[in-house]
Amino acid sequence: MSQDGRVVAIATDVNINVYNADTAELMDTLEAVHSDAITGISFSDTGKFLFTSGNDKSVRVWLNRAGIVRDVETWTESLKVATNTSHKERLKQQMAEARHN
């Protein structure tokens, strides 16, 4: 589970399924991320990256696209209720940057 508790990643053999923790919706599937069974999975402190290790003796780093989607969803909701112009602009900038990742 990501540090913010919004995204869950589950390894199944050599694949990873990434879910929205609130709705259990499948948000992303990373297929054949290792050539042998996945032995470890962890999110970075920021939640931007997902780290995996496998029986193939490799460690891989993945961009947490589902986490970025969740961030944009949160910022969109915040933008709807924001009253301060500078806060609105900051939210719009964060959303634009996230979409370019």
Rg value, the chain, Cα:
16
pLDDT higher than threshold 70 for residue 70: no
Global pTM reads 0.68
DSSP 8-state secondary structure symbol assigned to residue 46: T
Three-state DSSP string of 2-26: CCCCCEEEEEECCEEEEEECCCCCE
Order across the sheet with 26-30: list the strands.
Answer: 7-12, 15-20, 26-30
pLDDT tens sequence across 11-65: 999 999 999 999 999 988 888 989 999 999 999 888 888 899 999 999 998 877 7
